[in-house]
Amino acid sequence: MANFRDLKFRAVTSFQRHVVNPLARQSRSQTLLETTGRTSGLPRRTPVGGSRVGQEFWLVSEYGEKSQYIRNIQADPRVRVRIKGRWHTGTAHLVPEDDARARLRRLPRYNSAVVRALGTNLLTVRVDLAD
């Protein structure tokens, strides 16, 4: 039988995939991370909360390597990030040695609170922006 953590993961990700993400993708102000689907090869856009620091964009995945966009990054780290309505190309790097909870304190407050509340396996991601 599935444990509480697995049930929470399935419930939250299903709600995000079918309700939250489609609505968030419609907002021009929402930051999006575009990866390449590891099986389909198609662009996959995921609403994320993060922050640009110089030529880097930082975010924290709430489910780490269970997140589909993290699996896509592992297969192909070339990504695009839409920040304030403008697309930027870059290369994503998983940073497991980073203190994800400390990182969340430096990222946008609302998203960070949600990630802390729902996340079960926090993982920091750094995107080195090319433009």
Hunting for tokens 């907002």 — which residue is that?
27
Q: What is the pTM of this model?
A: 0.82
Contacts of 20 (CB under 8 A, 6+ apart): 47
pLDDT digits (tens, 9 = 90+) for 52-79: 999 999 999 999 999 999 999 999 999 9
d(CA 82, CA 84): 7
Residue-level pLDDT at 52? 96
Residue-level pLDDT at 108? 86
State yes or no: pLDDT of 106 exceeds 80: yes
pLDDT digits (tens, 9 = 90+) for 17-39: 665 555 555 556 589 999 999 99
